[in-house]
Chain A
Amino acid sequence: MTLRLSELHPGQTGHVLRLDTEGSLRQRLLDLGLVPGTAIEQIMHSPIGDPICYRVRGAMIALRQQDARNIQITI
């Protein structure tokens, strides 16, 4: 099933399918290791709901919801 990254629940893990962003954010995400097939787990929200923290390749990375929405994942 495909979802947007922003739709993951805390503790849930998905795999990166596709990045629907362009430009420097896309490059950054790739540099951080979000290449297709990478496992990504939602860890927690910030107190006001946004940004959201994910575990990618062992590291904790915080992304804004609007950016996470543009990452397609499969679960």
Chain B
Amino acid sequence: MNESSNVADKLLNDVRLLRQKLGSDLHDRLAGALYHRAAQVSAVGVHVTGRPAVDWDLGADKILTSRWLGFPIMIFALMAILWLTIQGANVPSGLLADFFFWLEGHLETGMKAIGSPWWLTGFLVNGVYRGLAWVISVMLPPMAIFFPIFTFLEDIGYLPRVSFNLDRLFRWCGANGKQSLTMGMGFGCNAAGVTSCRIIDSPRERLIAILTNNFMLCNGRWPTIILLATVFVAASFNPAWSGIVATATVVAVTLIGVAVTFAMSKFLSSTVLKGEPSHFFLELPPYRKPNLLRIFHRSLIDRTIYVLGRACVTAAPAGAVIWLLGNINAGDQSLMAYAISWLNPIGQFLGMDGVILLAYIVAIPANEIIVPTMIMAYMAGTRMTELDDMGELATLFHNNGWTFTTAICMMLFSLLHYPCATTTWTIYRETGSVKWTIWSNLMPLILAVVVCASVAQLSRWLN
């Protein structure tokens, strides 16, 4: 062993001497020689036989990245996607909900008929089944519309153009333009977004991208925002306008997320992650005709079903937990009533209430189940055990003391709060640092508390 390490030392010594003799431009010379050879080879084997009459790519680029249209097109595309998602999901969501609650009634009757005790029926039907039913009817339709459209934009080659357009803003914040690609991935799933940050070379900029990915609404949170925007915010407007109002609300929340990403990137890069912006280079691939069949397969089977599966796996036990909390009594109150009354002051301070906070706690494993948990908790507290219509949700919320401020605060909290357990674990894996993992949770939480408390205070003053 010793001998071989001596040999290695001698060799490395020779290497050092040779390196000094060669000078510091070795990489230049290697790249030069390799490219020279590459050019020779392609001169022999590659023939350009003509020029296409029209360069469509260039034409499209001149529009999509143009001075006047570049940004409006990006915002318009975002609005169009969300509008289609919200409008398109409305009816199927309602139908699914109708079906599931129709089935619930029959399940309950069926269970009674075969002599199942009340607690078993309650646990399975009102707990587990209802949790699942909510997740599916609220999440499936919007995802089945959103993902294919997003995948379409990804396949056609629009994402790198967004990066190209936005890089200047990222530079102002001391971050990297490729961060917008990782943000795009974050729209699907923050854990995937965090992993994709590997495409950023500079460790400092990569960390900024990782820590701020949380502010991109992931598929676990889209449905929450969409639901609140539709049944609460838009419902207080003229029905003719409700689609537009709902879309505008969701777009606004999304853009607040983008703005917070810029602000936090700037904050990080001028405090704890100080440093010079490094360089940026990005290849803009040609536009490619997407393969529709593949898009549907990838966005529906791979993504929608996967995400839904994950949601169901967490929703079933969450439904069970909620049911148990609501039905196990300690003294004269259920456990849930205790928890809620304990959390209520904090919730009120943040413009929400105890039930919403409880939902956030139960939903730490996956954001998907916040709304279902909340609804189950509200319904456990009232005599109402059935909910046949999405429209009744607004009534349920009103009856529980919701105001416009509650909805706004809940949306903001959902946008900001902290990454889900999977994302937190991914952040730990990618950074290898406990410190940054804790920071990635604390920073958004503090921000969420400050923002929600301020909004709540402001609304108290205004009233």
Report A19-45 CB contacts with B as 1/0, cut-off 8 Å: 101001111111111011010000111
A64 & B284 in contact (Cβ 8 Å cutoff): no
A67 & B35 in contact (Cβ 8 Å cutoff): no
State whether A30 and B28 are in contact (beta carbons under 8 Å apart), knowing that A43-B61, A51-B167 are contacts in the complex: yes
B31 at the interface (CB under 8 A from A): yes
- Choose among A32, A38, A45 the residue that contacts B281 (Cβ–Cβ < 8 A): A32
B280 & A67 in contact (Cβ 8 Å cutoff): yes
B165 & A47 in contact (Cβ 8 Å cutoff): yes
B289 at the interface (CB under 8 A from A): no
Instruction: Give the bracket for the number of chain A residues in contact with chain B.
Output: 20 to 34
Q: How far is the CB of A67 from chain B (nearest CB, A)?
A: 5
A27 & B27 in contact (Cβ 8 Å cutoff): yes
Report A44-67 CB contacts with B as 1/0, cut-off 8 Å: 111111110100000111111011
State whether A28 and B284 are in contact (beta carbons under 8 Å apart), knowing that A35-B28, A35-B31, A44-B61 are contacts in the complex: no
State whether A64 and B279 are in contact (beta carbons under 8 Å apart), knowing that A31-B31, A33-B35, A51-B177 are contacts in the complex: yes
Bound CA–CA A31/B27 (angstroms): 9
Residue of A nearest to B24 (CB): A22
B65 at the interface (CB under 8 A from A): yes
- Interface of chain A, helix or strand or loop or mixed? mixed
Q: Looking at B36, B201, B282, which has the most chain A CB atoms within 10 Å of its CB?
A: B282
Report B29-54 CB contacts with A as 1/0, cut-off 8 Å: 00110011000000000000000000
- Using Cβ atoms and an 8 Å threshold, which residues of chain B touch A48? 165, 168-169
B282 & A61 in contact (Cβ 8 Å cutoff): yes
- Choose among B35, B66, B164 the residue that contacts A51 (Cβ–Cβ < 8 A): B164
State whether A46 and B279 are in contact (beta carbons under 8 Å apart), knowing that A35-B28, A35-B32 are contacts in the complex: no
- Choose among A30, A35, A47, A63 the residue that contacts B70 (Cβ–Cβ < 8 A): A47
B168 & A60 in contact (Cβ 8 Å cutoff): no
B281 & A63 in contact (Cβ 8 Å cutoff): yes
A46 & B167 in contact (Cβ 8 Å cutoff): yes
B171 & A53 in contact (Cβ 8 Å cutoff): no
Bound CA–CA A70/B52 (angstroms): 34
Q: How far is the CB of B23 from chain A (nearest CB, A)?
A: 14
- Using Cβ atoms and an 8 Å threshold, which residues of chain B touch A49? 168
Report B130-144 CB contacts with A as 1/0, cut-off 8 Å: 000000000000000
- Using Cβ atoms and an 8 Å threshold, which residues of chain B touch A26? 27-28
6 pairs from A and B in contact (CB 8 Å cutoff): A36-B32, A44-B62, A51-B280, A60-B286, A62-B283, A64-B279
